Every structure is written in C-alpha cells, then in structure tokens.
Amino acid sequence: MTTLGVNIDHIANVRQARKTVEPDPVQFAFLAELGGADSITVHLREDRRHIQDRDVFLLKDTIKTQLNLEMAATDEMLGISKKLLPDYVTLVPEKREEVTTEGGLDVKKNEKNLKNFVKILKNSNIKVSAFIDPESNQINYSKEVGFDFIELHTGRYADLKGDAQYEELQKIIESTYLANDIGLVVNAGHGLNYQNVKKIASINNMNELNIGHSIVARALAVGLEKSVRQMKSLITSN
Ligand code: PXP
C-alpha cells in the first residue's frame, strides 16, 4: 500500500518569517504522525530559509516514524547527515534563487560525484533516494549510481491539465514500472494535492508520496492532524 511522507518545511517557513520559536516544526511533526504520517520529510537548505539544524536533530530524537532528509549533494550536508543518521536521504538539486525545488537531479551529468556520495551515505546505513524527472535515462543512471530509491518529480503533472496531464501521468506510470523492473523502490512527490493525488497513489507499486504544501495549507483551516488524515485516506482508498 502507498504510504504518506509529510513534508513540514512550510511550518518552518512561518516561523522563519519572524525568526522566532513558533510554530515549531518539531511539535507539528507529532501532529502529522497522529494524523497517520508514515514518515516526516524536511529539506535542510544551504541558505537555511526554513528548516534549521536544530530541527533535524530534534526530529531525529523525537519522531516515531521515519526521518527523510532532503538535501543537496554537498560536503556540508554529507557531514550533517553522517552525524544525524536519518532513515533516508533524498538528494535534490538546489538553487539559491528558486522558490521551491524546480527540476529533478541530473544523475547522468553528475554520475561520478554521486556514486561516491551515495556510497558514503550507504556505508552509514542510510537509504538514499534520487529526486528525478520521470525519464528513462535518469532512472537507469540512478540504478547505476547505487541509489536504493527514486522519487519521481510530479511537479509537471501537477501543473498540467487535460491531455497534457494525461500524457505526463503515463510517463510517471511507465517510469515507475521501469524503475521497479531494475530493482528501484519508487516514491513520488511535488505539487500533489487533494484533487490530483489519487491517480498517482493508484499506480501499482508506488511506495510513498511526499506531500507538503497542500497539507500545510489545508491545516490552516482544519488543523494538521486532520489534513494529514484526509490525505492519507485519499492515498489508501484505492
Ligand atoms: N519532494 C521533493 C523532493 C520536494 O523538494 C518537495 C518540496 O519541498 C516535495 C516533495 C513536496 O512538494 P509539495 O510541497 O509541493 O507537496
């Protein structure tokens, strides 16, 4: 059954708007777990615009599910992840000027560096995932580099409508099957919401969906426990 990873970066965004202590993403992770989150995802960015170092270490000590650390493949992040020992690391491309992660990782272009990076993380018993566009060569290179998981970028699917969205969905389905065939576990995420999630959740062997913005946005109206519960119920009612 497809599971739900809840990304709580946007809780930290509200805190950082005032650089104060509330709302605390660590406390909200507890509510996400009460609502049925199967894992908690945070992106520790180089510029620390939302999640801070203390958040990731407190989360590691306090959550009861699994911690998925999203990060760029830099020496600084490698050092932090070796100390933190999250359950998973998801490698993402990162640009200072972007509002959110824009495209997938170019695994092919960075094959040599990534191979070494992934090896070091795996030696620390951390499972490693690559956030990639749903393209066959990126999938094949992800296997080659040694990733355990891939996370398929659903941002384009979320932005498109009608026939174009249907075509993108087919690409995501074919990518999932290809990745499964070569032994990669497949997650997906970005831009998923209460309206568009079901088609992605119902793909065979879809392991986990990582969802942040839509869940936190709905939490403003109904509370985080409930917004997580509602998303989880959509994902698991296939
Ligand atoms: N997966 C990855 C790799 C991401 O970078 C993000 C955004 O932080 C998400 C999933 C969640 O995207 P959204 O906030 O649009 O649900």
CATH number for the domain spanning 65: value is 3.20.20.70
What is the distance of C-alpha 196 from the center of its chain? Answer: 17
- Mean pLDDT of the region 28-54: 97
Using the predicted structure, report yes or no on whether residue 112 has a pLDDT greater than 70.
yes
The pLDDT value recorded for residue 136 is 97
**22 among known catalytic residues:** no
pTM of the full predicted structure? Answer: 0.96
Question: Which ligand 1 atom is at minimum distance from the Cα of 101?
Answer: 5
Question: Which of 190, 195, 209, 211 to probe ligand 1 with, by most ligand atoms within 8 A of CB?
Answer: 190
Summarize pLDDT for 178-224 with one digit per residue, the tens: 999 999 999 999 999 999 999 999 999 999 999 999 999 999 999 99
Where in the sequence is the domain holding 133, given as residue range(s)? 3-236
Phi, psi of 168 (to 5 degrees): -65, -40
Q: Give the pLDDT score at 78.
A: 97
Residue 103's pLDDT band (cuts 50, 70, 90): confident
Percent of the chain with pLDDT over 90: 95
- Cα distances (Å, whole numbers) of residue 37 to 1, 71, 126, 142: 13, 20, 20, 27
pLDDT of the residue at 235: 97
Name the domain count of the chain: 1
Residue 3: its H or E element: strand 3-7
Asked about 153 being catalytic, the answer comes back as no
Which candidate in 33, 70, 94, 225 is catalytic? Answer: 70
